């Protein structure tokens, strides 16, 4: 597989990307970067107002985008979203599984069990359902890319983020298993774990900041502006380098085959 220089600009013209959780934060940043690279963009999230704003921003910048209200934990919602996107924009070439929620507050023996499990339904089952729907088409076309947004919490041990950490660890390991299943079919699957980025979830008093006493109350300067460019995992389009796990604290972590 040909490699792509780390400073190369992505060219995603003629490709369709679906970003879940695209209404705000990282999802909105990914959506804007993918649209700027030329992809036709589908923005999906549970908040109709937020995804409408993201789509408006993309269109104002000259991009092509559509909005789809989506609960990634609902199989009917996911099936309908993927079908609607492919009807409007065409087959999905790139899926960014970004939608996620934080853990319920408290220790495991104190939290509501349904809320704990709901975290896994959104953060793990949601990406599984989305991938399941787009993969048959990707395999048939012998090309595609799935980016699962993981977290450093997958490798840590914060007691106040139990369900979140478990969900992201499982997402990371599942990404490797899925990658092995489809690597002969021209499809790449990557778990991408950004470092801490200033979003509504992480910025005090956001969910992660509220639940984790070790969460930073101040952000380094390089995080304050949010995502500014495509992560390296995106820049090869559908045929970029495969990235293995790396654990440098100043860089994102990508896991995949």
User: Are the CB atoms for 193 and 173 separated by under 8 Å?
Assistant: no
Confidence of residue 106 (pLDDT cuts 50, 70, 90): confident
Confidence of residue 128 (pLDDT cuts 50, 70, 90): very high
Q: Report yes or no on whether pTM surpasses 0.85.
A: no
Q: What percent of the chain clears pLDDT 70, i.e. is strictly above it? A: 72
pLDDT digits (tens, 9 = 90+) for 153-164: 888 777 778 999
Give pLDDT, residue 196. Answer: 59
**Average pLDDT rounded to a whole number, residues 60-74:** 95
Q: CA triplet 50, 22, 221: central angle to 5 degrees?
A: 95
User: Are the CB atoms for 256 and 176 separated by under 8 Å?
Assistant: yes
Give the Cα separation of 103 and 164 in Å (integer).
Answer: 5
Give pLDDT, residue 8. Answer: 57
Give pLDDT, residue 170. Answer: 95
Coil, helix or strand at residue 153 = helix
Q: Which residues are catalytically annotated?
A: 150, 164, 168
User: Are the CB atoms for 96 and 150 separated by under 8 Å?
Assistant: no
**What is the pLDDT of the chain when averaged over all its residues?**
80
- DSSP E strands in the chain: the ranges are 16-20, 40-45, 65-69, 94-97, 144-149, 187-193, 253-256
Burial of 224 (0-12, 13-18, 19+ CB in 10 A): exposed
**Average pLDDT rounded to a whole number, residues 216-243:** 37
Is 24 or 213 the better-scoring residue by pLDDT?
A: 24
Confidence of residue 70 (pLDDT cuts 50, 70, 90): very high
Kindly tell me if the per-residue pLDDT of 115 is higher than 60: yes
Q: Which domains does the chain show, CATH number per domain? A: 16-240+248-256 (3.40.50.720)
pLDDT digits (tens, 9 = 90+) for 3-56: 445 555 789 999 999 999 999 999 999 999 999 999 999 999 999 999 999 999
Confidence of residue 195 (pLDDT cuts 50, 70, 90): low
Give the Cα separation of 189 and 148 in Å (integer).
Answer: 8
Give pLDDT, residue 234. Answer: 36
Give pLDDT, residue 197. Answer: 58
């Amino acid at each position: 597989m040909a490699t792509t220089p780390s400073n190369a600009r992505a060219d995603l013209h003629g490709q369709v990307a679906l970003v879940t959780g695209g209404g705000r934060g990282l999802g909105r940043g990914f959506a804007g970067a993918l649209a700027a690279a030329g992809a036709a963009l589908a923005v999906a999230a549970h908040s109709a107002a937020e995804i409408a704003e993201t789509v408006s921003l993309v269109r104002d910048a000259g991009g092509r985008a559509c909005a789809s209200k989506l609960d990634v934990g609902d199989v009917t919602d996911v099936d309908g979203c993927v079908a609607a996107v492919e009807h409007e924009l065409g087959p999905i070439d790139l899926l960014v599984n970004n939608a996620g929620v934080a853990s319920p507050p408290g220790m495991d023996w104190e939290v509501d069990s349904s809320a704990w499990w709901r975290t896994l339904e959104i953060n793990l089952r949601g990406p599984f359902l989305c991938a399941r729907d787009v993969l048959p088409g990707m395999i048939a076309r012998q090309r595609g890319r799935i980016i699962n947004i993981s977290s450093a919490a997958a490798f840590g041990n914060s007691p106040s983020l139990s369900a979140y950490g478990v969900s992201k660890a499982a997402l990371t390991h599942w990404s490797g298993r899925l990658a092995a299943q489809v690597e002969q079919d021209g499809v790449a699957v990557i778990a991408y774990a950004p470092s801490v980025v200033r979003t509504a979830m992480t910025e005090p008093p956001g969910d992660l900041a509220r639940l984790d006493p070790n969460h930073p109350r101040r952000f380094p300067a390089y995080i304050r502006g949010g995502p500014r460019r495509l992560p390296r995992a995106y820049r090869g389009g559908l045929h970029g380098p495969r990235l293995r796990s790396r654990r440098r604290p100043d860089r994102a972590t990508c896991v995949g085959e």
